Structure 1
C-alpha cells in the first residue's frame, strides 16, 4: 500500500475480529441456548429486532459520510465513473451468480447438497448486488485515490442502489429457482437503505448548517466510527451463536463459500482496473474504481439475508463469510494497485 499509510487498529485486524466472533458466538450458543433462542424470537414481520438495531448502528454512520452534492460534479472525468457503474451493476451481480451456480450447483454439490447450494447461491448474490460504501474511502486512501472523485462514485452508487438492488436480487434469485418473498425484500430495502440514507442525509445537512463542517467531522462523525465496527462484531456474535451447530458440523463449508467469493473479487477488480488502463483513466481514479467494483456492502447483505432467510440460514452464513474474506483480499488488491502505478503514464495520472 502507499508508503506511510495504514489501516487503523479495528480495520487492520477486522478479519481477526470476525474470526474471534465465530468462536465467541459458537461458545455462547452452546453455553446459553435459552438466551440465544429468546433473541431469535424477538421478531416483527420477519425482522429480528436486536439485529435490526445493530444493523442500523452499522449503516447510519456510513450514510452520514455521503455528500450527495458531489453528484453535481458527475460530469468531471466521466470515464472512471462509467467503468465503475458498468462493473458494479452490469457485471458484478451476474458474474457472482454464475460463479455461485458453477461452484455450488456443480463443483461442490456432492459436498453440500441441493438445499445448502441454493442458500449459498442466494447469499452470494445478495452480497454482490450492492457495492461497498464505507470501506471504499479506506481503500481509496490506501491507494492515493482522488477523495473527491471517490465520493462522487459512492454517492451515485448509493442512489442507484435504491432502485436496482431489489430488482437485481429478485431477478437473479428467480433465475436460480430460489423463491424470494417480494414484500420482505422490499421492506428490507426500505428499512436498511431508504430510511438510513434519508436519515443520514437530513442529519448531515442540518448539522452542517447549524454547527459547521469541522464540528460535524470531529465532534459528531468521528466518535461514531468505532460504533459501526462494534455493531458489526456484535451482529456476527449473534449470527454465529445461531450458526454454531451448522459451523461445527460443516466447518469445511466456510472454505467452500470463500472460494467463489474470492475469485469474484479478483475478477471484478481486475476488470475495472484493466478497463481503466485501456481508456487511459488516471491512476488516482483507476485504483479506487477497481476497489469499488470488487468490494461489497456486506452490512446490507447480512441484514437482507437475515430478513429473507433467517439467522440460521446458509444464505446468512455466506454473507458473513464475505465479511471474513473482505479485508485481507481487498488489502492484496490495494497492494497490487500501488505496485502497478507505473502502468499509468505520468501524462494521464492526473489528467481529466
Structure 2
C-alpha cells in the first residue's frame, strides 16, 4: 500500500534527463462540450447552464470589449483566468464548464475527467476552484474547496468526485499540509495566466480513486536543439498516465463517438438513429443502456426496443 503522504511533482524537482519536446496536441475541431446524447448514454451529469454572454475565452473577450470591462478589474482577471484554465485542462482529458453566478456554491469550473482506465462511464467528476490571487495562499483555500465539494450539485456529489485548486502560484507549505490531512481527494495545479502549467500535486486520498499511474514530466521547447539547455529554452510540466501522454479531450470525444457508433451497430441501428435508439431504451426503463451493458439485454427486450423505434418512425411519417 502506498504511504499516506502528499504526492508532489513539479518542474523544479524533476530529473534533467526528462528533456522531452513539448507535446503538440490534437488540432481537430473542438466542440468544448460533450453532446447531450453522449451525456445521457454514458450517464455523465448534465452540464451547468452557460452564461448568456459568453461560453469560452474568445466570446468573453468580445463581451468584455463590447461593455468596456476594464482589464484590471477583478471580474475580467478572474473570468479570463477561468477560461484559460478550462482550455488548458482539456489537454489533460478534462471537459469543464464555467459555473459563475451567485448560486455557484463556490465552484468556478465543473465537469468530468476522462483518464485512461477511467474513461467513458467511469469518468471522474471534478469540481474546480480557480485562485488568481495576489495574496498569500493559505490552508483556508483547502477548507473552501472541501465546502464546495460538500455543496456540489447532485451529479458531482459522489465518492468519485475530486476537488481541484488551480492558481498561478505554487502551493505553500500550509496548503500542502492541509491537502495531506484532508479526507477528500484533492489536486493542486499551478497554471500561469498564459496557460503554462508549472506544478501538479495531489493527496493520497486522490490516489485511492485509482490515480496511482498519474505522473508529471517536464517538457522543454526552444533552444538550439543541442544537448545543453540555453537561456532560450522554456519549460512546463505535463500530466502523464503510466509514463505516457494522456489523450486530450479531442481524442476522448472521438473515442466516445466511435463507441457510440459501435453500440448502435450492435443493435442493428445506423449511427444517425442513435438518439432514437437511446430514447426507446429509456422509455422502456431498461438498465443496460450504456454501451458496456448492451450484451446484457435480453432478446425480448431487444425486440421491444426495435419495435418501439419502428412505431415512432411511422408516427413521424404520419402513417
Name the TM tier (shorter chain).
under 0.3
Give the TM-score, by structure 2 length: 0.27
Higher helix share: 1
Structure with larger RCO (C-alpha < 8 A, sep 6+): 1
Larger Rg: 2
Greater strand fraction, Structure 1 or Structure 2: 2
